[in-house]
Structures are given as C-alpha cells and as structure tokens.
Amino acid sequence: MSSGILIFFVAALATVLFYSRRHSRLPLPPGPRPKFFTGNAHQLPKENTWLMYAMWAETYGPIFSFRVPNREFIVLSSLQSATELLDSRATTYSDRPRLWMYTLAKRNMIQFNMPFTHPYFKTYRTALKASLNSHTIQNYQSLQTEQSRMLLGDLYKNPKHFAENIRRNVGAVVLNVAYGWKVTENNDYFIGILQEGKEIIAILSQPGRWLVEAIPSLRFLPSWFPGAGFKRVAFDARQKLSKIDTTLFNWAKQQIHSGSYTHSFVSEQLLPEDGSTASAQQEDIAKWCSQGISAGGVDTTSSSLTSFILAMLHYPEVQKHAQAEIDSIVGQDRFPAFNDRDKLPYIGALVQELLRWAPVAPQGLLHRAMKEDVYEGYRIPEGATVIANIFSISRDEKMYPNPLEFRPERFLGSSPQVDPRKFIFGFGRRRCPGLHLVEASLYLNISYILAAFTIAKPLDARGEEITPPVEFENVGVLCHPKPFECRFIPRNKDLLATLSQ
C-alpha cells in the first residue's frame, strides 16, 4: 500500500471517529459547506487566512464554523462574541489546541503554548505579570531611552535599512529585560540567534503546511517512512531551538554566578529575595518564561513600528499633527521623555490607531474549548479550536467608521471609539503579559522618530515620489508589512547632534 493511500485511509477513519462523538442536537454555528472527508481544507488559503475569515463573516455572521479533518473551528468576528466567550467564560476557553509540530519540537513549555491545565501555568503567568506590569517596567525606561537614541542615530546614518535598525532596537530592549544582555553593535550575536529562532518557529506554525496537524496519528510514523518528513523537520527544529534557549539562558546564569550581572527576568527568578537557592521549578520558570519574553517581544513590536513608518507615508497629515503636538508641548531643543506621555494625547491616540490599523496577530492565538458550550443557540463542541478574528474586529464599521483609514482622532474627544487594546493583546487568561512594555516602546520610539525626522516617500529616477502599497505578509501566525522604501528627512540637525553627547 502506498503512503498516499495509507494517509487517505487514516484521514477517513479520523473523520468518522470525530463525527461519531458529536451528540448534541443543537446546531453548530453556520459556515461554508464542507466536503465529507476533507471539510473546508480546500477553501483555506495558504496565507492571510484572516482575510478569508472576514469574507465568511460577511456571509455567515459574527460567529461561524468550519472544519478540517479531525478538527472543528469556531471563528468569532465581533468584539461582543469574543469577550462574552473568551473573557467572561475564560475557564472554558483558556486552553490551547495541541499543535503537533510544536509538540514534536518540544515547545509546549513556552507560556504562550502551555496547556491551561498544566500545573505550572498559573505560576508562569504570575511571574510574567509581576515582572512586566505597568509599575515594574519603569525600571527599564533608561534602557529604552538609550536604545531609542541609538535607533535615531542608525536611521540617520543608514536609513535604507530602517527595518533592520528597528529590529535591533527592539531586540536590544527585549534581550536586556529577559537576560540582562546589553547590545552594543548592529551585528549582535544574540539578536542573530533570536532571528534564527523566529524563522524556525514560523516554519513550524505555518497554517495548513503540516498534515500531522489534521491527522495527529501520523506522528506515530517512523521518521524514515515516506510522507513522514515533517518528523525530520520537527526534530531538526527541536535541536536548533534547544541550542538557542540554552545559549541565552546559560549566559545569564554564568553572569549571575560571577556576581557581575544586570537585573533581568532571569536574575529575579534565580535570586529569590529570601536569599535561598533557586529551586528546579524556579529554573524552569526562568528558562521558559524568558524564552517567551524574547520570542514574543521582538517580532510583535518591530512589526508595529514598521507599520507606523508605512502609515506615515500614506497619512502625512497625521504625521504633521503629531509633530506639531510634540513641538508645542516638548519643544524643539530636546526629545520627548516618559514623563511627557500624558501631555501628548495625540501621540497616545496614534499608538492606539496603529494597533488597530495594523494588528500584528490578525487572528490572535488559538483557543480551545475545554468542554461543550452553548452560545446564541449554537453548540460549541468540546475540543473545538476557537479563533478570535482580530482583523475583523478591528475593521468593524459599527465601532470604527471608515475602518481602512488611519485616524488617531477617533480615540480623542468626548466620545472616543472603542479602545483597541481591549482585543489586540488577546483575551482572558491568555492576554499578553508584556502589553505594557510594548506600549511603552511604541510611545517612545514613535515620539523620538517624529521629533527627529519627517518620514517621506521614496523618489524614482526622475525625482518623483513613489507611494509604496499597503501590503502585509505572513510570518507564522504574525503579520508584517511587505518590504518597502522610504526617506528620513532630518527636522532639526541641532537636536540630532545631541545624540552623540
């Protein structure tokens, strides 16, 4: 029997068993008509699946369903349905579905992937929230200020590589927060291995690529068997990611043991306040949570900052308004500081609009129904994968008139529109614990860049402006602007000269 025929019969058996477990008489939410064996797999695009979900929501409503072999999906496309289920019923929807490529690569201990029922889940989350809350992150303001100044210097000297400069800036902050590592050069070794890890994770999490996600029994195939190449990919990823984790964590441990270390998440966990020796559990917390901070922080914040650059090219009037606010409140003889934040409401609104206009994780991270539930007369089966389609919510015309436009003023005045931070950072007990650090980084870098430069469209060979398209691409479950060009025109060379002081 060929491997293709074997896989077909395994899929057929899994489908029959899956549907034999369905017993409730209540209907599933409406959705596109599935094929018997393959469900709706043939309709799902390989990239930008949230766009297909948005189209289906227009046809089937704010809650709809679809399936692939052995998995039922429920998609929530309104803020009301997402909050009523994922927030109000968090004990039912705080689990993660099993991603088999992650499991084979031994990545289930990272806090973002960890099952809700794991005995370490609450401990991990408590540790992260304690280290990344709005009060604690003030300890990193001098670090963020230093790195923002370095970013401006890089943009001035090497503007063509602005995306790489942004990633270096964000990576420097995250590595310091997680491990105490200080980045001093553009070609930093640790930033390089973080980039390598990101690329590996993006391969493992690529939607629709791995058949084992639809047919979990394939994981029992030996790695040499025809069609089991996914196991070799997962094993290779496991080795490379383990090396990355160990390199970063062991460096931080060595610094702590030497007595010459910078305060970080790892040092907090390995040096308990009572002076005792860190337990095995505390070592686990330090290793896996610090890895989560670095993995979750770099790509998300750098994507948002790159989207900010793109937005300013298309909305120069927003840029002028923001610069006018900085000039009038801060002046032109210094850069904005953290204590100016409350005095710059338009900058704050710009950050909110950026999060809404270009959501970094447009379909969020997946949730799993831990028991059968009923919502709006529809059945949500136990084990169903639940998706909060953040892209659809961010484009809800009832909440955000003219949603495709970048308009920070929608969050100002006596009747501001719905704050996107209610959904952009996730829901319930899976809400991103690093949201305060992300917002602080966005505020400072955006206000610094606007104080120093005017972001302008690139020029063609005839000296005429070129307007880059607003286009995004998948990087695993995240979304980034496609590469584009721009110019950074200095506004105040005297102010830029202070960067070297």
- Coil, helix or strand at residue 405: coil
The pair phi, psi for residue 465, each rounded to 5°, is: -70, 140
Q: How far apart are CA 268 and CA 285, in angstroms?
A: 10
Q: How many helices (H) and strands (E) does the chain have?
A: 17, 10
Asked if 300 and 361 count as a contact pair (C-beta separation under 8 A), the reply is yes
DSSP state of 341: G
Q: How far apart are CA 193 and CA 178, in angstroms?
A: 15
Asked if 139 and 176 count as a contact pair (C-beta separation under 8 A), the reply is no
Alpha helices in 158-279 (DSSP H): 162-179, 189-204, 229-258, 265-270
Has 432 been labeled as part of a binding site? yes
Q: 229-258 and 280-314 helices cross at what angle (nearest 10)?
A: 110
DSSP state of 392: H
Q: How far apart are CA 432 and CA 429, in angstroms?
A: 9
- Tell me the CA distances in angstroms from 342 to 49, 347, 374, 443, 461, one per residue in order: 38, 9, 43, 11, 43
Asked if 66 and 405 count as a contact pair (C-beta separation under 8 A), the reply is no
Which residues define the annotated binding site for heme? Answer: 432
Which residues define the annotated binding site? Answer: 432
